[in-house]
Structure 1
Amino acid sequence: MDESILLELHRMVDEYALEPTLNATLRSFIAEKASEKTSWAEMTRCTHRMLGGRSPDLERHAALTELIILLLDIVDDLQDRDSPNRPWMTCEPAVTLNAVLAMFAAILGQCGQSGIGSAVGSLLARSIQGQQADITDKVLSEEDYFHMVADKSGTLLQLAVYMGSALVDGVDSNVQETLNQLAVCGGIVSQIENDARDVLRLDFKNDLLHKKRTLPVLFMLEDSHAEFPALNEYYAGTLSREQFAERQREFVQYARDSGCIEYCKVVQALYKDKANELYELLPPMLEPWAGQFREIFVPDYDVRYNASGEGGVS
C-alpha cells in the first residue's frame, strides 16, 4: 500500500473516529493491512486510467476500496477465528466491533459523497451472501462452490473495478459488463489458488481441519472413501478434531497425492482462458494502465505445492 493511499485512509479515520483510542486502533488495523502485498487500490486506479479517466477523486476511491476490503477481512477473521495474531483479534472484542462500525460509517459517508452508495451496497450484499454460504456449510457440490466463490470473491473484484469506472462518464454498458465478467473470473482463479494452498497447510488454517468443502476438498471426497477413508470419517463426524490433529500430516500427504492440486490447476487454466477471451473483447484501452490491469486480472497463476504454515495445529 503506497503513501498516498495511507494518507487518504488516515484522513478518513480522522474524520470518522474522533475518540483517540478508537482512532489509534483503526490506524493499527490499517498499518497491518498496509504490510500486505495487495492490488486492491491498483485495480481501481488501473480501471479508471485505462478508461481515460482523470478524476481528482481517484485516490479517495482507491483508498475507499482498500477500506472496504479491510472491513471485510476483519469480519472474515472474526468468523473463522484462524488468525489469532492480527491486531483486530488481539484487542478487546468490543473495541474491534466499534472499529468495524467506525469503518462502516466512513464507508457510508464516502459513498454518499460520490453518489455510489446503492451500487456499492448491492455488491457488498452479494459478497456477504457468498460468505454466508461459505460459513454455513451450504457448499455441497462444485456448482455450489463456483456460485459461492463468484459471489464471495468475484463481486469484490467487481467492486474494485466499479470504484474506478464510476468516476468515468459515458462508459459503454457492454464494456462495463465485460469488465464485471472478467473480474468474476479473476476472483475465481484467485480463490482456487488460495484453496489449493490451504489444504496443504500444516497449521490451524488448513481447510480440512475446518471441514470446508473447497474445490480441492470436493475432488478428494469423491474418491477418499476408498483411497483414504479417514477423510470421509472426519467430515462425517466419526473422527474427532483431536484425531485429525494427530494425523494432519497424513491428511496433507493425501491431498498431495490425490491429484486435487493438478485438478485445481486445470480449472484455473479454464477460467484464465475465459478471462483472456473477455479481455480481448474490450476495445483498445489507454496504456500503460491497460497492461497493468491485465497483469492484475489475468496473471500467470501457478498453484504452489509448498504451502506456508509448517507448525502444528493450535
Structure 2
Amino acid sequence: MENTIIEHMHAIVDEHIDAKDLNKLIKLFIQEKSQEKSPWSTITRCTHFMLGGNSPQIDRIAAATELIMLVQDIVDDLQDQDQENKPWMQCEPAYTLNAVLAFLISFFGELELLQGNHTRRLNKEISKIISRSINGQQKDISNSIETVDDYLIMVQEKSGSIIRLACYMGYASLDVSPQTIEHIDALADYAGLIHQIQNDMNDLNEIDNKSDLFLKKCTLPILYLLESEDTSFPLLKPFYQGRIRLDELIENKEAWLTYIDKSGCIEYSKIVQSICITKAEEIYEELLAIAPWKEKFRDSTYGSFV
C-alpha cells in the first residue's frame, strides 16, 4: 500500500476518532493491513481515471475505500475465527468491535466531505452494495450452500460486491452510462468468482488449519467431491454430515491429499474458473475506457489469471 494512501487513512481517522487508545489501535490495524499487497485503492483510482475522472481528491477517496475494506477483513476473521496473529484478533474483542464501528463512522463521514451534492445518492448505492455483500456473507457462514448455483450466487454477492464497491468509489462522482456500470458490475462479479475459486482450490491442502473444510463450508471443489460416487476416501461425506470429527480427517491427511489430487475436483474447479475468465475478457473488450488505466484496472482485478 502506498504511503500516500496510508497518510490519508491516518488523516481520516484523526478527524473522527479523538480517543487516544482507540486512535492508536486503529492505526495499528492500518499498519498491519499496509503490509499486504492490497488492490482496493488501486481499483478505485484506476476506475476513476479510466472513466475520465480527474478529481484532486481521488487519493483520499481511495484511502476511504481501503478503510471500508479493512472492516470487511476484520469482520471476516472474527466470523471464521482464524488469522490469530492479526492484531484485531489478539486484542480485547470489545476493542476490536469499537474499532469496526469507528472505521464505519469514519468511512461514511468521509463521503459527506468528498461528494457534496451526491451524498444522498452515494449513500444509497453504497448501502445497496454493502447489503448485497452481507447477504452473501451470511449464506457463506450459515453453510446454506447446497448446489453449484447456490455457490456461484453467494460468491458474486459476497466477493463480487466488494470489488463493485471499490469500483463505485472511483466513478461515483462521474457521469457514467448505465451500460458502463453494467459492464463494471459484471467484471467485478467475475473477478470475485475467479479469486474465490482459486482460494477454494488452495484451501484444500489446509486440512489441519482453520480452513473452509474446518468450517464445513461447501466450496466449489467440495461440492464436486460431495456429489462424486468415488468411495476411495469415505470420510468426507460423514464429516459434512456431522458423523465424524475433524481430527479423524486430519489423521488421514496424506490419504486426503492423494484423494483430491486424483478426484478431478481441481480440474473441475479450473474449468469453471476458466469460463469466468473468458466471460470477463469478453466484457472487458466491450468496456469503453481510457488507456492505460483500463489495462491497469484489468491487472488489479483479474489480470494475473489471464
TM-score computed with the length of structure 1 as normaliser: 0.92
Question: Is the aligned partner of 1:150 residue 2:166?
Answer: no
1:92, distance to aligned residue in structure 2 (A): 0.7
* Letter in structure 2 aligned against 1:129: N
State the Cα deviation string for residues 203-258 of structure 1 (Å, max 9, x = none). Answer: 41332222110001001111266232110111111111222232233323322221
Q: Which runs of 5+ in 1 are unaligned?
A: 303-314
Aligned to 1:192: 197
In structure 1, distance between residues paired with 2:213 and 2:256: 8
Coordinate RMSD, CA, aligned: 1.4
- Confirm or deny that 1:135 pairs with 2:132: no
Deviates more, 1:237-246 or 1:24-33: 237-246
Structure 2 partner of 1:102: 102
Aligned partners of 2:41 and 2:66 also within 8 Å: yes
Q: How does 1:72-221 map to 2 (within 5 A)?
A: 72-113=72-113, 114=115, 115=119, 116-168=122-174, 170-221=175-226
2:281 is aligned with 1:276: yes
- Residue 162 of structure 1 aligns to a residue whose secondary structure is helix
Change (3 A) 1:253 1:209: farther
Partner of 2:301: 297
Amino acid at match of 2:160: G
Q: How does the TM-score come out when normalised to structure 2?
A: 0.94
- 1:154 and 1:215 map into 2 onto residues whose CA distance is 16
Partners in 1 of 2:42 and 2:283 — Cα distance? 20
Question: What is the match of residue 47 of structure 1?
Answer: 47
In the TM superposition, residue 167 of structure 1 has moved relative to its aligned partner by 2.5
Aligned to 1:228: 233
Contact 1:225–1:232 (CA under 8 A) maintained in structure 2: no
Aligned-pair CA distance for 1:300: 3.8
**2:195 partner SS:** helix
Q: Tell me, yes or no, if the aligned pair for 1:67 and 1:103 is still in contact at 8 Å.
A: yes
User: Match for residue 27 of structure 1?
Assistant: 27
Is the partner of 1:171 in helix, strand or coil?
A: coil
> What do the CA deviations read for 1:126-145 (whole angstroms, capped 9, x no partner)?
00000000000110110100
Contact 1:44 1:160 in 2 (8 A): yes
1:58 aligns with 2:58: yes
* SS in structure 2 of the partner of residue 226 of structure 1: coil
Q: Report SS of the residue matched to 2:52.
A: coil
What is the number of residues matched between the two proteins?
Answer: 300
Which residue pairs with 1:11 in the alignment? Answer: 11
**Paired amino acid for 2:59:** E
Q: Which amino acid in structure 1 is aligned with residue 232 of structure 2?
A: E
CA deviation profile, 1:272-295 (whole Å, cap 9, x unmatched): 000010011122x22211111122
Structure 1 residue identity aligned to 2:290: L
Indicate conservation of the 8 Å contact 2:207/2:213, yes or no: no
Runs of 4+ in structure 1 off by over 3 angstroms are: none
- Separation in structure 1 between the aligned mates of residue 86 and residue 170 of structure 2, nearest angstrom: 29
Identity %: 43
| Structure 2 segments unaligned to the other structure (5+ residues) | none
